[in-house]
Amino acid sequence: MIAIDTNLWVYAHRKDMNQHLASRDVVTDALKGSEQVMLCWPVVHEFLSVVTNRKIFKEPTPMKLAVQQIRGWLASPVVITLQETPNHLPTLAAIALQADVVGSQIHDARIAAICVEHGVRELWTADRGYEKFEGIRVRNPLV
Question: What pLDDT, in 10s, does the model give residues 34-81?
Answer: 999 999 999 999 999 999 999 999 999 999 999 999 999 999 999 999
- Reported pTM: 0.94
Domains for the chain: give ranges and CATH numbers: 2-139 (3.40.50.1010)
Lowest mean pLDDT among 17-26, 59-68, 71-80, 127-136: 127-136
- How sure is the predictor about 118, in pLDDT bands with cuts at 50, 70 and 90? very high
Average pLDDT over residues 10-16: 98
User: Exposure of 19 by Cβ count < 10 A (0-12 exposed, 13-18 middle, 19+ buried)?
Assistant: middle
Cβ(56)–Cβ(66) below 8 Å = no
What is the arithmetic mean of pLDDT over 94-111? 95
Grade residue 102 by pLDDT with cuts at 50, 70 and 90: very high
